[in-house]
Structure 1
Amino acid sequence: MYSEKTVLTGIKPTGTPHLGNMVGAVKPVIELSSQAKRAYVFIADLHALNAVRDSKAINRNTYEIAATFLALGLDTTKAALFRQSDIPEVYALSTLLMNVTGKGLMNRSHAYKAVVDRNTEKGDDPDAGVNMGLFTYPTLMAADILLYNADVVPVGQDQKQHVEFARDISGSFNHIYNKQILSMPEPVIQETANAIPGLDGRKMSKSYDNYIPIFAEPGQLKKSVMRIVTDSKLPNEPKDPDTSTIFQLYQNFATADQIAFMRSSFVKGKMGYGDAKNLLLEAITVYLEKPRETYETLLAQPEKLDEILAQGAAMARISAKRTLEKVTKAMLGRSPSY
């Protein structure tokens, strides 16, 4: 299905990757990249700048994300893994695209509108706290996508707008310059990205502080699992597995037989939440045992991660340079001199 497609995805280094990220984004991207003609996986450190002011945190989180993808099986012979900021062409293309992007389009950005709505509710200036990094975020995102002629962009439902904006900007550029230079990417909605519950039953998210880091230390992992919110049903009372956060998480780490056993035990009232949490803890531990070893080894060798990221950037720049040359020639009548 994707053998002739270019797949692209990015993840912001704004925190330690959690189990929701793994199930909803990392694993699906790794699977897609193995099927695609070519794949680009970038760590969106430039996108983090409009909110994160701690450069050490961005760098640390970048290493964590890179190590996570590699530990979970990303094949860097098939997918370019790189830092967004290591691609100078993305800065240039973003600036060029701003000249074919309407302000009205940026006004409709979900992230920008959310800030404006909060400010309005409080009676503040609508643009209080809004920097141009936030306002022009969709233009930079479009540059990320269009620079590599991406055909497919796997996203959660809440990120679909970014791909739609990239299509709008691409269409505007191609129309103005009467050339089919930029691609028309398609979003692939990752339904699981919105289905992974956190400790409190809501979507697992850093903003809710209800997440479990993928490679949490054993003590931290146990503490997190035991904090999962449950109802007051007794061990011998029937329970609905499909509304249980424990069971929903368990399905992503246990074997088919183990999943069937927990479901049956819940339905028949033969398992309490305490026992179920212990089974979940064991399943996560076993599932991530080998990836954890790889992850910890990589984090202990930042120079190795730098080398892998640099190699990925070199691969990505081959396509990036070609696209920027075409865009620059169309807009300025000449090729870039660098």
Structure 2
Amino acid sequence: MADNAFTPRVFSGIKPSGGLTLGNYLGAIKRWVNMQGPDFETVYCVVDLHAITVWQDPAELRHATREVAAGMLASGIDPEKSILFNQAQVPAHAELAWLFNCVARLGWMNRMTQFKEKAGKNAEKQSLGLYAYPSLMAADILLYHATHVPVGEDQKQHVELTRDIAQKFNHDYGVDFFPLTEPVIEGPGMRVMNLRDGSKKMSKSGESDMERINMTDDADTIAKKLRKARTDPEELPVSFDGLKNRPEAKNLVEIYAALADITPDSVLNEYGGEGWGKFKPALADLAVEKLAPISTEMKRLLDTPDEIDAILARGAEKAEAIANPILERTFDIMGFVRSRR
């Protein structure tokens, strides 16, 4: 199979650990919605197997899985246009991950910065899964022969590992079977920062709820958080360069740009020279307009979990129709006897 024979296909996923935030929406889900269409087949996944690299309460994991799915659906992921499922319902993910554990090199895994960041000084006490999960991430992507993965800058290293694994597999077995997946990193608002400290990424696990916009927040809460977001005493500059060394101001301008689908410079063409008393209410109104309908639909879906489960089940069947033949061919290439088909 030659490189140019690969179907243009997007794969990406979100881990169900804690609630969804504005960062998840602008950094991932909104982009996924926009990628639905004729240019790509789109496969989107709640990556629940990744969540258990640290211990999860079973009831909370079930709820978080449904909440992520509800957020994706409410934001515009259409199960008629995209494949939407949760990872644990497609066993091929775990099977291919083991095969890739035997392709990936220890030195590659040791270079993964996210393990070092998450493990900190207690690396010896962490699960093997936390160390090896980039191999599972590679399996998630290559199980669908995904050609493109929309990611934030902090995940680019994992796509590079995916390419290394694909290249080594193809070289070792003399095939051109797995594509060299391309990361897609573009657009404003890709790294949404903390509303109280612009030097930190917006996080589900921050100490104060005022640090983030939750995708389940209602209109009043969204407006309140943005009106109270930390800023600085200076007025807005007339160009984006003027936001250098002003992290809180830069963050709010980028949030506005991403919500409005315009560039940060376009935002400043309208608000440059204005004070926060004009800009923050405008940002709050825009955010309520874009986000409140999503939180309302999320609530409806979460009140009807059977509807979410049915969509995930149908998505898993569609996912397996792509994944299982690719897994079987991988086993064949590697020399396994598979006589029970």
2:204 is paired with a residue of what secondary structure? Answer: coil
Q: Give the percent of matched residue pairs that are identical in Structure 1 and Structure 2.
A: 33
* Structure 1 equivalent of residue 246 of structure 2: none
- 1:152, CA displacement in angstroms? 0.6
- 1:69, CA displacement in angstroms? 1.4
- 1:253, CA displacement in angstroms? 3.6
Q: Partners of 1:111 and 1:261 in 2: how far apart?
A: 33
Q: Is 2:137 the partner of 1:148?
A: no
Q: Partners of 1:135 and 1:107 in 2: how far apart?
A: 9
User: Is the 2:271–2:279 contact (alpha carbons within 8 Å) kept by the matching residues of 1?
Assistant: no
* Structure 2 equivalent of residue 192 of structure 1: 188
* Structure 1 equivalent of residue 105 of structure 2: 102
- 1:266, CA displacement in angstroms? 4.8
Q: 1:223 to 1:128 in 2, by over 3 A?
A: farther
Q: Is 2:64 the partner of 1:61?
A: yes
* Structure 2 equivalent of residue 218 of structure 1: 219
Q: Partners of 2:69 and 2:135 in 1: how far apart?
A: 24
Match 2:204 to one of 199, 203, 206: 206
Amino acid in structure 2 at the alignment position of 1:169: I
- 1:32, CA displacement in angstroms? 1.3
- 1:81, CA displacement in angstroms? 0.4
Q: Partners of 1:170 and 1:5 in 2: how far apart?
A: 16
Q: Partners of 2:271 and 2:93 in 1: how far apart?
A: 53
Q: Partners of 1:68 and 1:247 in 2: how far apart?
A: 24
Q: Is 2:285 the partner of 1:282?
A: yes
2:10 is paired with a residue of what secondary structure? Answer: strand
- 1:249, CA displacement in angstroms? 2.5
1:14 is paired with a residue of what secondary structure? Answer: coil
Q: Partners of 2:25 and 2:168 in 1: how far apart?
A: 35
Structure 1 stretch 164-173 or stretch 276-285: which is displaced more? 276-285
- 1:193, CA displacement in angstroms? 5.2
* Structure 1 equivalent of residue 16 of structure 2: 13
Q: Deviations over 1:92-118 (max 9, x none)?
A: 1111221222111111111223356x3
* Structure 1 equivalent of residue 316 of structure 2: 313
For structure 1, the 5+ residue unaligned runs are: none
Q: 1:96 to 1:223 in 2, by over 3 A?
A: same
User: Is the 2:149–2:181 contact (alpha carbons within 8 Å) kept by the matching residues of 1?
Assistant: yes
Amino acid in structure 2 at the alignment position of 1:321: N
Structure 1 stretch 23-32 or stretch 221-230: which is displaced more? 221-230
Q: Partners of 1:44 and 1:185 in 2: how far apart?
A: 19
Match 1:130 to one of 126, 130, 136: 126
* Structure 2 equivalent of residue 249 of structure 1: 255
2:37 is paired with a residue of what secondary structure? Answer: helix
Amino acid in structure 2 at the alignment position of 1:240: P
**Aligned residues, how many?**
320
TM-score (norm 2): 0.84
1:175 is paired with a residue of what secondary structure? Answer: helix
Q: 1:10 to 1:193 in 2, by over 3 A?
A: farther
Amino acid in structure 2 at the alignment position of 1:172: K
Q: Partners of 2:111 and 2:129 in 1: how far apart?
A: 15
Q: 1:333 to 1:215 in 2, by over 3 A?
A: closer
1:39 is paired with a residue of what secondary structure? Answer: strand
Amino acid in structure 1 at the alignment position of 2:116: K
Q: 1:132 to 1:82 in 2, by over 3 A?
A: same
* Structure 2 equivalent of residue 41 of structure 1: 44
Amino acid in structure 2 at the alignment position of 1:44: V
TM-score (norm 1): 0.85
* Structure 2 equivalent of residue 239 of structure 1: 236
User: Is the 1:247–1:263 contact (alpha carbons within 8 Å) kept by the matching residues of 2?
Assistant: no
Q: Deviations over 1:277-302 (max 9, x none)?
A: 33322221122343333222211110
